[in-house]
Amino acid sequence: MSETNTQPKDCFEIGGEDLLASAPTESVEGSAPAEGTATQPLPCETLDDIRVRVGALLKTETVSFLLGAGASVDCGGPLIGTIPLMVEKAILKEGITGDKKPRIRRWLVIFYVAVRHCGGNTDTPITRDEIIERRKTLRGAQVEKLSANFEQVLATLHRWRAALPEKGERLRVDGSPPLDAKRDDLDKCIRHATHALAGACRLPAKGMADALQSHKTLLRKLLTRPLNLRRVNIFTLNYDTLVEQAADAEGVVLLDGFVGTLRRIFRPESYEQDLYFPAETTEGRVHRFDRVLHLYKLHGSITWIATEPSIDNPYGVEAGVFDSDGKEPLLIYPTPAKYGETLGLPYSELFRRFAAAVVRPQSVLFVIGYGFGDEHVNAIIRQALAVPSFTLVVVDPEPKSDFVKILREQKDRRLWVATGPRLGTLKGFVDLVLPDLRDEEIRRKVLATHRALAKNISTTEDTSNGD
């Protein structure tokens, strides 16, 4: 008896109507299903129609993109629904010294106790021998991830730490397993766990450099917007530098809020600047430089470093290179404090600009790889949905959040949803759905001609049947 294929099918919904549901089966190049799967090919004509519709959205006055962790997964980006293997390996590397006579740091045991408390998995190592055996297992090819949610693990560590405000105190927690931890050990555990997460965001991972092509293609297509419109805003919740790397490879200038050459300082007023170059005439006219985008790192970046605020650096933020042995990067980690941290500088300024962009008239927000798990982000999107001219495009292989579920039930024509193993991913959406606006006008004319010919054939057949 064969197994049932539970892979979600590709859909493109507008107001609850799936445009692919009743489409013809002629497939488009690059959309064929993988060998051995039950996925259906995508219809060529319907994809052309979808590209024309998305092209119209790209021509609206304000276009913004919001990238979540799912947009980086093809480059090896960590998903924290479980304990990422690369994070656990980094933690073990720091927590165990020596190979012949391994020594286990106390903070490492605390980490695995927190994992056991959150995951409820009795296979989670907590004894010295179990932790050493886990390190051996992680060196193999086939390794199962620990099932605990990494964000919940960090939240647990922070709760334990909050119970020890004074230096030198000790926390004992009954349970299975019990906890006996000192304040300094909890501090070290939190520091190593968060630093390991930051280190895992040095992307693309080994052997995954080719996946950066999707980010390059995204930027190239966004730059085909008419120059008389606002610059495209790219908001990202990710710590990695994939957008910056793609921009460098494509010769794109990113206005990212930093100014300076040798010393790059965060000055958000730089977002109000633009780039122009003189024309080849003597009339004094200038042309707008066409390779510019705005980048906002809403939760910080592995390249951000906190410094002492000063007159020439009022926010106390500099941009540099991630150093695994140096200063901690300035990030909003997935902890209970993240909501409060977004209210402080420099994040409050970034979120203010995010909110201002999506509530403008004739604004569209493309959300790719974000699971709608951050309420401080959802609140801004909810606010934007109160604007009649706002359009929300959700790109997700299989949306599971209540936020998206409720919106889909409303059948609001302002909600567009691309799902499935191809259309619901960054690569599939960029390659198959997002148009190059330089070709879009030609594609629109071809599609109109095709429809006119099809209508003429249908009319001729009706006339012949009447005779």
Provide DSSP, 365-431: EEEES--S--HHHHHHHHHHTTSTT-EEEEE-SS---HHHHHHHHHT-TTEEEEESTTTTSHHHIII
Q: What is the pTM of this model?
A: 0.87
pLDDT in tens, 142-161: 888 998 999 999 999 999 99
pLDDT band at 371 (very low <50, low <70, confident <90, very high): very high
Query: What's the CA gap between 426 and 242, in Å, rounded?
Result: 13
108 and 34, same structural domain?
no
More confident residue, 268 or 329: 268
* End position of a domain, from candidates 199, 214, 237: 199
Give the pLDDT of residue 416: 98
CATH number at residue 224: 3.40.50.1220
**Cα angle, residue 190 at apex, residues 349 and 181 outer, rounded to 5°:** 145
pLDDT in tens, 248-259: 999 999 999 999
Q: Is residue 425 part of a domain?
A: yes
φ, ψ at 138 (rounded to 5°): -65, -15
Give the pLDDT of residue 329: 79
Query: What percentage of the chain has pLDDT greater than the value 70?
Result: 85
438 and 324, same structural domain?
yes
345 and 214, same structural domain?
yes
Q: What is the rounded average pLDDT of the residues 260-278?
A: 90
225 and 147, same structural domain?
no
pLDDT in tens, 168-190: 788 888 877 888 899 999 999 99
pLDDT greater than 60 at residue 309: yes
Residue 225 · residue 437 · CB < 8 Å: yes
**Cα angle, residue 305 at apex, residues 299 and 307 outer, rounded to 5°:** 120
Give the pLDDT of residue 462: 57
pLDDT in tens, 93-126: 999 988 788 999 999 999 999 999 887 677 788 8
324 and 231, same structural domain?
yes
Give the pLDDT of residue 119: 79
pLDDT greater than 50 at residue 37: no
**Cα angle, residue 223 at apex, residues 220 and 229 outer, rounded to 5°:** 165
More confident residue, 6 or 310: 310
Give the pLDDT of residue 283: 63
347: part of which helix (H) or strand (E)?
helix 347-358
59 and 114, same structural domain?
no
Q: Is residue 221 part of a domain?
A: yes
Q: What is the rounded average pLDDT of the residues 74-83?
A: 93
Q: Is residue 210 part of a domain?
A: yes
Instruction: Tell me the two tokens of residue 104.
Output: 């286990």
pLDDT greater than 80 at residue 460: no
Lowest mean pLDDT of 105-114, 298-307, 331-340, 435-444, name the range.
331-340
Q: What is the rounded average pLDDT of the residues 237-254?
A: 96
Query: What's the CA gap between 88 and 79, in Å, rounded?
Result: 13
pLDDT in tens, 43-69: 888 998 999 999 999 999 999 999 999
* End position of a domain, from candidates 138, 166, 199: 199
Q: Is residue 170 part of a domain?
A: yes
Query: What percentage of the chain has pLDDT greater than the value 90?
Result: 61
- For the chain, what is the domain count? 2
Q: Is residue 293 part of a domain?
A: yes
Q: Is residue 228 part of a domain?
A: yes
Q: Is residue 461 part of a domain?
A: no
Q: What is the rounded average pLDDT of the residues 125-153?
A: 89
370 and 284, same structural domain?
yes
pLDDT band at 1 (very low <50, low <70, confident <90, very high): very low
* End position of a domain, from candidates 199, 215, 239: 199
Q: Is residue 3 part of a domain?
A: no
422 and 318, same structural domain?
yes
3-state helix, strand, coil in the chain (%, to 5): 40, 15, 45
Q: What is the rounded average pLDDT of the residues 417-442?
A: 91
144 and 108, same structural domain?
yes
408 and 343, same structural domain?
yes
Average predicted confidence (pLDDT) for the chain: 87
Query: Residue 182's domain spans which residues?
Result: 85-199
Give the pLDDT of residue 4: 45
Query: What's the CA gap between 15 and 17, in Å, rounded?
Result: 6
190 and 41, same structural domain?
no
179 and 305, same structural domain?
no
